[in-house]
Structure 1
Amino acid sequence: MAISAITVGLVATVFLLFYRLSRVGQRPKGYPPGPPTLPLLGNLHQIPKKQGHLQFQKWAEEYGPIYSLILGTQVMVVLSSDQAIKDLLDKRSNIYSSRPENYLGNIVSGGFRMLLMEYGETWRMIRKVVHNSLNIKAARAYVPYQDLENKAMLLAILEQPAFFIDHIRRYSNSLTTQMLFGFRTLSIDDPRLKQLFHGFEKFSEVTGSQLAALLNVFPILRYLPDALVPMRKHSKELHRKEYDLYVGHYLETKKRLQEGKAKPCFCVDLVRAQVELGFSDGIAGYVSGSLLEAGSDTTSATLVGFVQAMLLFPEVSKAAQAELDRVCGDRLPDLNDLRDLPYIRGCMKESMRWMPTAILGVPHAVIRDDEYMGYKIPKGAGVMWNVWAIHNDPKRHTDPRRFDPSRWAHDSQTSAEAAMNSDASKRDHFLFGAGRRLCQGMHIADRSLFLAISRMLWAFDFERAVDEGTGKEIVPDMKELIPESGLLVQPKPFQASIKPRSERKANQVREEWSKMTKLLDNDMQWETVPEGLIWRDYEPVEAPAKT
């Protein structure tokens, strides 16, 4: 009996389906090397639930500066050398500036978060708006805010040293709310401050989870109901809270600007851009909200890491204080001292190398087929910059887990200058990304870190806390990070004994803050625009309809 054409077609279809499934998880010929794969899963089963950065570092040691992971239907190319990052993410940024799909991350973000946006018209528009307000010239305008909030932090640590992590977070957050929205965050108990850090930690946990990876590489799983994918329901709830916070901040500031009641801030330009370009309040809220995340979380996490380093390497604080006493004496350090404090500058650089909060970076994606070192990099592949492995490469940094500011004795580059250095080996750290995705607030972060590190060391001694029961010192574990798996991490909270170096310095901290309060109103907000703060005149404009 003759076999019908329908039967032949069905058999061929089934055969083709099985053939394609059999290829899922395999590493195609010509791709960068990597660990052995399993059918369907590829290397997905080898991604650790916790401390993934350590496994990525081991793979870099085994497979070299460029290797690949096959994650189900997707390819992740991992760059583990400074030169590879320079060659691809910087020099070929025209094709390496997109993002791989992040299904749950985009649910949390409502598709608005610039960090996760694919390279395209919307992303370029937002980047231009941000650049206009965070470039080198504009960044100088924020110095009065940085000085004020730094002195507020010093007083808070003096009065409540046990809550130093909370005070550091308030410092970075209040500085950022002033720059973006024109108001100060006054208390470590501010509910919006707490929601920001809690929400961003949960966002990092969700995007770094194994379920998020599964949903990215096997899209068919997205058709399952929420009852079977509870993290998706959780992501939707996170978005609701996040949207209310970010868009709420923006709408409140826009209203005050239109009424002529707001202080100069980033939202001045953002409102103008919204009127001109017509984007939604959702996008505007997330532009300012994303900057709020970046300015609050990265700076505070780096400073918490710095305090931990002072407990683990007490000789560093002694050397730094000796330099501060020699250069500044009895006066508080300021930004004019930067050139004369090379060891303090080294502390700042080493903090970003030693405790990189973006521990594995945020993956880029290549928009067309490419080739590097003889290997094929396929269109759509994710491209990860292996920050931890590069920062802890013993060929690049001797004894890398030692906190050693003297590594940078002859390096006076800013983070931006180092990132743009044509010699990849001269880049100090990779905390702020690469290529067109390079963080545009680096100038501000550098200043905030320098002021905080120099002044905290000038004012305080940092010692290990003592267990009241055993009488033994409590030594924090540098390996303990939170969240245990996520895009952005920081040291697990720890105790520290922080005391003023002298009563005279304690009184100076109080006096410096007393001077600053004369610039504030009864609500502890700026009375007038601080001297030196330069912004274009703002004329109230008719707001576009909310979308």
Structure 2
Amino acid sequence: MLHNILNITAAKSYVPYQDLENKQMLLGILTEPGEFVNHIRRYTNFLTTQMVLGFRTTSIHDPKLQQLFDGFEKFCEASSAGTAALVDFYPLLRSLPDLFLPLRSHAKKLHEKERELYIGHWLDVKKRIKDGTAKKPCFCVDLVAAQDQEGFSDALAGYIAGSFLEAGSDTTAATLVGFVQAMILYPDAQQRAQKEIDMVVGSGRLPTMEDETNLQFTRACVKESLRWMPTSILGVPHAVTQDDEYMGYTIPKGATVINNVWAIHHDPNRYENPYKFDPNRFIHDLQIAGEAAKNSDASKRDRYVFGAGRRVCQGLHIAERSLFLAMSRMLWAFNFKAPLDASGQKVLPDASKLTQGLFVMPERFEAVITPRSEKRAAMVQHEWEECRTLLDQNLQWKQVPDGMKFSVYQHTQDNTVDVQ
């Protein structure tokens, strides 16, 4: 079911969603530049709530949006703590009561909040689908049909939808925050990308997906951002299905295998001066994300943050488009600089300071974000006003754009599941 709404053909159909949310993000950064992280997060969260649940997240202050990001961040911190590692190494410790494992008690509380969020979202959209008030199509329409046929619990359905929300929101947002940091630390890359965008697009309109093939340096910025600041630094753990051997090491069936994304992306044998943000590494790489992930020559894959092998992230096509639209338009509209201290010296962010956990992003830093011209600022405002005509008084889509590629769940007579 996920594959049917995330494959490359389907991904292209969601551009109207991405286009509108991107324009609201630009307006937010224009009017509240100090809140750029929150505006980026709302942009990335929107697409998943619209695709999965059928509604827009309209405000950076939405409590459910804050819970999604804050809860996941706290879970990442808990799962990477020393106590968690100790229990992993010595499973016997799991039998201890919570009194002796306060981290587990803390994790249970986080889980209850997460469960309330995920299942609450599910029960709400399920009710709206059942009574005919939901905006269709969305992924949960299929999920309701599947539940009616298969009889699985609301908890399972809630976590299917919730994990989709989580995966689609955090990773892209963190990459974009890292990109903003890179533009401050490497102004030459910023200026070169802006020059390319100005030559191809000009000042009279925003970049679109149709410009992508003519903006190779900007595409290289997307690739380099994913390499330079990989958000899932150890990937997603896998397990081997049979005994295997690698470079003299025996890997027994069932053993967990960790994909050390950070080490691969910062390997000096693979990337010269790997801690430098340098889009030129990919200036001649014309592969889209899906092509790179499947390249039989592993040395020519542009990044491993989406995983590797058969279990590669299914949302990479959508993420790639979200990143290109965001980066190209942010560079078109704004300049990014470091703030100055009392003596007039630049206060540069430290790229080595990352949030802790299995999932990382730059620690909070200050950025001075200003429109490149009054004309471009006015264009950002005008574009959002045009988008407002597509929305109702609650800032929800009046009608779903044509061409949305959602699957049709069918339960066939021989008790097999058919997704078309």
Q: TM-score band, normalised by the shorter chain?
A: over 0.9
RMSD over aligned Cα, in angstroms?
A: 1.4
CA distance in 2, matches of 1:255, 1:398: 54
Partner in structure 2 of residue 517 of structure 1:
388
Q: CA deviation at 1:289?
A: 0.7
1:404 to 272, 278, 282: 278
CA distance in 1, matches of 2:346, 2:90: 49
1:505 partner letter: R
- Measured against aligned partners, the alpha-carbon deviations of 1:451-502 in whole angstroms (never above 9, x if no partner) come to 00000000000111122x333211000000002xx11100001000000000
CA distance in 1, matches of 2:198, 2:11: 29
Partner in structure 1 of residue 183 of structure 2:
310
CA distance in 1, matches of 2:228, 2:409: 42
Partner in structure 2 of residue 439 of structure 1:
313
TM-score by length of 1: 0.73
Partner in structure 1 of residue 159 of structure 2:
286
Does residue 144 of structure 1 match 2:16?
yes
1:370 to 238, 244, 247: 244
Q: CA deviation at 1:536?
A: 5.7
1:355 to 213, 219, 229: 229
CA distance in 1, matches of 2:34, 2:208: 26
Within 5 Å, which residues of 2 pair with 1:22-33? none
Q: Is the 8 A contact 2:179 2:225 kept in 1?
A: yes
Q: Is the 8 A contact 2:227 2:302 kept in 1?
A: yes
CA distance in 2, matches of 1:228, 1:436: 40
% same residue: 60
1:406 partner letter: N
CA distance in 1, matches of 2:105, 2:248: 44
Within 5 Å, which residues of 2 pair with 1:12-51? none
User: Using a 3 Å threshold, how does the CA distance of structure 1 residues 287 and 167 change in structure 2: closer, same or farther?
Assistant: same
Partner in structure 2 of residue 335 of structure 1:
209
Paired residue secondary structure (1:137): helix
Q: CA deviation at 1:367?
A: 3.4
Does residue 210 of structure 1 match 2:82?
yes
TM-score by length of 2: 0.94
Aligned positions, number: 408
Q: Which of these two proteins has the greater Rg computed from alpha carbons?
A: 1
2:143 partner letter: L
Q: CA deviation at 1:538?
A: 9.3
CA distance in 2, matches of 1:184, 1:470: 44
- Higher mean alpha-carbon deviation, 469-478 vs 185-194, is at 469-478
Partner in structure 2 of residue 179 of structure 1:
51
Q: Is the 8 A contact 2:208 2:325 kept in 1?
A: yes
Q: Is the 8 A contact 1:144 1:532 kept in 2?
A: no
CA distance in 2, matches of 1:538, 1:505: 45
CA distance in 2, matches of 1:252, 1:470: 54
User: Using a 3 Å threshold, how does the CA distance of structure 1 residues 538 and 148 change in structure 2: closer, same or farther?
Assistant: farther
Partner in structure 2 of residue 236 of structure 1:
108
CA distance in 2, matches of 1:176, 1:186: 13
Paired residue secondary structure (2:250): strand
Partner in structure 1 of residue 134 of structure 2:
262
Q: Is the 8 A contact 1:352 1:429 kept in 2?
A: yes
Q: CA deviation at 1:372?
A: 2.1
Q: Is the 8 A contact 1:180 1:265 kept in 2?
A: yes
Q: CA deviation at 1:313?
A: 0.2
Does residue 296 of structure 1 match 2:164?
no
CA distance in 2, matches of 1:281, 1:130: 18
Q: Is the 8 A contact 1:144 1:533 kept in 2?
A: no
Q: Is the 8 A contact 2:139 2:406 kept in 1?
A: no
Does residue 225 of structure 1 match 2:97?
yes
Partner in structure 1 of residue 413 of structure 2:
none
Q: Is the 8 A contact 1:463 1:496 kept in 2?
A: yes
Partner in structure 1 of residue 36 of structure 2:
164
Gaps of 5+ in 1: 1-128, 540-547
Q: Is the 8 A contact 1:141 1:534 kept in 2?
A: yes
2:398 partner letter: E
2:268 to 394, 405, 412: 394
CA distance in 2, matches of 1:324, 1:276: 51
Q: Is the 8 A contact 1:144 1:531 kept in 2?
A: no
CA distance in 2, matches of 1:284, 1:302: 28
Q: CA deviation at 1:141?
A: 2.5
1:354 partner letter: W
Gaps of 5+ in 2: 411-420
2:20 partner letter: L
Q: CA deviation at 1:537?
A: 7.3
Q: CA deviation at 1:220?
A: 1.1
Q: Is the 8 A contact 1:481 1:491 kept in 2?
A: yes
Partner in structure 2 of residue 5 of structure 1:
none
Q: Which has the higher contact order (CA 8 A, sep 6+)?
A: 2
CA distance in 2, matches of 1:377, 1:531: 49
Q: CA deviation at 1:424?
A: 0.7
